[in-house]
Amino acid sequence: MQRGYFVEGLGGAQFALPGAVERLREPISDAESSEATEVLAAADPAQPYGASVPWPKRAAGRASRVAGALVVCIAGDAVLFVERGGRTLVPLREPEPDWLAVALDALVSHVRGRRGPRLAIERFDGEPVADSGMMELLVESGFTAGPRRAVLRSQA
């Protein structure tokens, strides 16, 4: 076990195994970092936002570490928050189709892999999803369009 300051911004002594220290020192290639998309439970200890790292400013109190909520991260950055119950999507950066498509694909894979709950998205960024202009992108990602929501179920 080694003691030191390994993660910038975290106070106090930190401890790590020697192998972990070497992995922290290795540079991450651009290909690895740009393709790394993860869907984590918001309360998962592996998800640092809201604990050791503050939520992005755009979250404005709408994202929190609660059971049942999900966070989609691209290259380690939280980009999309799914509120508990799966009815609201909160973009954690300015919405753009390029990164939204990647985040939604990861979310669809997560739910269809039976690791996630059924989603019935009714709101996107504080407004009804049908009025937000997001319905088309959700359908392209694999959701089913309804009159007031987009639905995604795990595959049976």
Number of domains making up the chain: 2
Whether residue 46 is found in the same domain as residue 116: yes
* Pair (19, 64) in one structural domain: no
Q: Are 112 and 44 within one domain? A: yes
The residue ranges of the chain whose pLDDT is under 50 are 32-33
**In this structure, are 11 and 61 located in the same domain?**
no
Residues 77 and 122 in one domain: yes
What integer pLDDT is reported at residue 28 of this predicted model? 61
* Percentage with pLDDT > 90 across the chain: 54
- Domain extent, residue 13, equals 1-30
With vertex at residue 60, the alpha carbon angle to CA 49 and CA 82, rounded to the nearest 5 degrees, is 60
Predicted local distance difference test score (pLDDT) of residue 38: 92
- How far apart (Å, rounded) are the C-alpha atoms in residues 148 and 66? 26
47 and 81 fall within a common domain:
yes
Q: Tokens 């020697």 appear where? A: 18
Tens of pLDDT, residue by residue over 3-29, are: 877 777 777 778 878 887 777 777 765
> CATH number, domain at 130?
3.40.630
